[in-house]
Structure 1
């Protein structure tokens, strides 16, 4: 079979990408602002499990946070597209800090479960969508450049670096300092990082609402109306079940063997595999169509995730977790790359937040179900959730993969009164 890759020199590399004028002005604060997101779910699980003694209750509270984020994130993205990122970020990070600290105080006060749920809703709803906003800034700066796939890979690597560091930091704070330290640090870092990122006004995309003249009458269809985006949402839901299922199940496993500190290490190995494969994907110029790459890569993810429940030792679980992580990055990178061709520029932040929200929703469902499985069934039963989530998503992806093709050039994707010109998909 013919090779599906070409030498790395045929694609513009990371060095050229990072020399893009003005890139570092949003990359560094963007990294600081998105780091706390990787700490949020695990910090909630560890705190609530400590105060209630139940992984089921801890998973349920974390799930409410995830569902709330998944439901509100697309609307946050749409508002950012219309009114600018700063207008959404500043009030959002202020609300998130207050809500996160309130949730911490209630958990430490042994408040009833319904009170924790009530605090979890605004905590999740106000999670700043920094990752999608950074991707939207890349898209605005590169404008169809061949560097765009490299930028998508770089962002995936950045996301995974946060998921290497975040669980390690959250576990260390919650186990070595105080069970509440992880969530307190998350709220504080979100506030400081979010405000710093919002201050970088020069690189944010022009708000759609700021258009003038003829273009002011153009209204882009919501990203959810694009069939390919809906297929990608299901695909990313499955990826979310891997994140959520592993967070709870690894915590339960390490506690069952009397080594709770290994939780962050094992999850960090899983995230490191994700990050390393993302680096490789960004350095390779693929000949294979992205739709096919997504199907093949996702099949590998489903196969490796299906073996997690059978791993009963630290070395085996670490090795298998590394393989699972290595399969996630290609799927994420390819999915985000496809958005560039499926969605008009004026709706990209919203599209990216739908995908981010889908991961959060899948994670929330997995945290809930995995927590119940760990409480009610055998040790390691929570690992069945990533298997089920990825297999079901793979079936959907294979069945509807034709919808991931970009519409014909010249197809109208915007509408407006008196606007005759069509808007080609970027």
Structure 2
């Protein structure tokens, strides 16, 4: 923990972490708020699901595109434009009384214009700290983002159910604009200039570590989404137990990231971290008792933030600086698709065999991720004796075998 304290004393680090967490806070609120609002105005969860699907498709498509644009037009311009369009689309969703296709169109626009804050901040990090601090910074970032998933759903559910779904969506817009402005106006965002990439769009995925990070992220987040569906199915939408168990899951991730995420990373590190997740999720299938699920999910969560930290670190260390934003965009897209796939597979199994089917799905995703990490361990760079800084654009990109 002393290393993290030293890290936060570095000028600008605490501010940029707080700003980006605030700017990304709506990410933990928007899907749930749209679901509740569209169900309220249409009376159909099916319609709400279609609007959510359109939003998710927009986010998945936009991630690498808007991230790459930051190297063409600059971070502040792209972030400001996407922020304005996204806030307008969510506001329209809240106040416009229309038909399902219109809601789907607005959801798609909101997804396409989601500000690429995550790609931006992880591109900035290597320019803010020395090489020794970069891996701990990625770990701290992966750990603290759990705050979003612990608090945001609770806040938006309370507002939507106690005040109304329209105020809930407007609250998202307020936080989106306030947090986004704070991040955009941060000095670091203005100082860091991403060089224009010389590679064609999508070529960065040909780098084995980036492809592995994208695939592993897809499977890891798929497992987490299946867990969320399973917990809600087990205890019900209104059950206090569901919120508490999911909070414990996130607290496990937070604890794991702060305790172990900074450990030097070798080619086998991803397998070890995913092994913790897979073992914990496999144990959930023993019992659906609230205490058992809480304990096993806490154990599984210990590996999540460290695994995410490694995803961010190996991505940064394996590409030129001009390609980092697009690479993180692809990694984010993989995670979004994983979230949708995990929820879909878990939902089908819940309908077929009951809540325990979701935990089967979660374990399957986690075990698949572990197998990928084991079978392709040589594709992960060895960061035990080097830092996670991007490759300077003036140097050739080494081939990793």
TM-score (norm 2): 0.86
* 1:191 and 2:181 correspond: no
Provide the residue aligned with 2:213 in structure 1.
232
SS of equivalent to 2:114: coil
| Aligned counterparts of 1:111 and 1:181: Cα–Cα separation in 2 | 20
Give the alignment of 1:336-347 within 5 angstroms.
336-347=312-323
Provide the residue aligned with 1:395 in structure 2.
371
- Return 338-347 or 363-372, whichever deviates more: 363-372
| Aligned counterparts of 2:112 and 2:146: Cα–Cα separation in 1 | 22
TM-score (norm 1): 0.81
CA contact (8 A) 2:23 2:183 kept: yes
Provide the residue aligned with 2:119 in structure 1.
132
What is the RMSD computed on CA atoms of the aligned residues?
Answer: 3.0
Provide the residue aligned with 1:4 in structure 2.
none
Once the two structures are TM-superposed, the CA of residue 361 in structure 1 deviates from its matched residue by 1.4
Unaligned runs of 5+ in 1: 1-7, 210-217, 416-420
Give the alignment of 1:42-191 within 5 angstroms.
42-48=32-38, 58-105=48-95, 111-112=99-100, 114-142=101-129, 145-191=131-177
- Return 227-236 or 78-87, whichever deviates more: 78-87
* 1:252 and 2:233 correspond: yes
| Aligned counterparts of 2:173 and 2:347: Cα–Cα separation in 1 | 24
In structure 2, which of residues 318, 333, 347 is the aligned counterpart of residue 357 of structure 1? 333
* 1:242 and 2:223 correspond: yes
SS of equivalent to 1:219: coil
| Aligned counterparts of 1:386 and 1:330: Cα–Cα separation in 2 | 18
Once the two structures are TM-superposed, the CA of residue 262 in structure 1 deviates from its matched residue by 4.1
In structure 2, which of residues 2, 12, 31 is the aligned counterpart of residue 41 of structure 1? 31
| Aligned counterparts of 2:198 and 2:382: Cα–Cα separation in 1 | 20
* 1:317 and 2:290 correspond: no
Provide the residue aligned with 2:250 in structure 1.
271
CA contact (8 A) 1:92 1:127 kept: yes
Unaligned runs of 5+ in 2: none
Provide the residue aligned with 1:368 in structure 2.
344
- Return 325-334 or 195-204, whichever deviates more: 195-204
| Aligned counterparts of 1:185 and 1:292: Cα–Cα separation in 2 | 43
Cα deviations by residue, 1:358-386 (Å, 9 ceiling, x for unpaired): 11111122233334444565244333332
SS of equivalent to 1:146: helix
- Return 56-65 or 356-365, whichever deviates more: 56-65
Aligned pairs, number: 390
CA contact (8 A) 1:56 1:371 kept: no
Once the two structures are TM-superposed, the CA of residue 238 in structure 1 deviates from its matched residue by 0.9
SS of equivalent to 2:374: helix
> Structure 1 residues 100, 375: CA separation in 2 closer, same or farther (over 3 Å shift)?
farther
CA contact (8 A) 1:67 1:364 kept: no
> Structure 1 residues 325, 43: CA separation in 2 closer, same or farther (over 3 Å shift)?
farther
> Structure 1 residues 317, 180: CA separation in 2 closer, same or farther (over 3 Å shift)?
farther
Provide the residue aligned with 2:279 in structure 1.
303
Provide the residue aligned with 2:310 in structure 1.
334
